[in-house]
């Protein structure tokens, strides 16, 4: 009798080998690091989107900070958390390495959405509530927009996610 097939023991050995290879691949791929990189990429996208909307509004309002950009404090010491206008933020605290000054409450950028400069006011992938975890600073004619809480990457470094123009 010549029958082709596997015995139960052979099948179990094959399944065990596949499980070991899957575990090794899972550890090598390091999904936690990939998720952190993905969230940092989203932060870069959000910061760039915010800067583009702010710059467009700034250009189209003839570089006057009235109107759509009136909620941005011009004090060079002032770093503001970006909000979507749905409430008030505490006026001081810490945003990553930036200290939020007591004179600068949140910068409400919901008006940029209303005026068509932004599709929405983005929030950090890990943010909850009103705090977007993005900040803005206006100093000497230059805007800086950045992320408060970038995540540590696989090499152990924490990137600085900010754009200035």
* pLDDT value for 91: 67
- Tens digits of residue pLDDT in 22-70: 988 887 788 888 889 999 999 999 999 999 999 888 888 765 555 667 7
Ordered by start, the domain boundaries in the chain are 8-164
Q: Is the pLDDT of residue 102 over 60?
A: no
* pLDDT value for 68: 60
Please report the beta strands in 1-150, taking only residues with DSSP state E, as ranges in sequence order. 80-83, 93-95, 98-100, 107-108, 134-139, 142-147
């Amino acid at each position: 009798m010549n029958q082709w097939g596997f015995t139960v023991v052979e099948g179990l050995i094959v399944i065990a080998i596949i499980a070991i290879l899957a575990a090794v691949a899972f550890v090598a791929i390091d999904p936690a690091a990939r998720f952190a990189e993905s969230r940092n990429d989203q932060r870069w996208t959000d910061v760039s989107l915010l800067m583009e909307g702010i710059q467009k509004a700034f250009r189209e309002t003839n570089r006057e900070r009235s109107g759509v950009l009136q909620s941005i404090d011009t004090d060079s010491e002032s770093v503001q958390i970006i909000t979507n206008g749905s409430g008030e933020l505490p006026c001081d605290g810490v945003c990553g390495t930036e200290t939020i000054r007591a004179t600068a409450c949140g910068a409400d950028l919901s008006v940029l959405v209303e005026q068509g400069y932004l599709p929405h006011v983005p929030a950090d992938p890990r943010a909850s509530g009103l705090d977007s975890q993005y900040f803005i600073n206006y100093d000497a004619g230059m805007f800086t927009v950045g992320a408060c809480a970038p995540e540590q990457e696989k090499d152990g470094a924490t990137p600085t996610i900010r754009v200035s123009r």
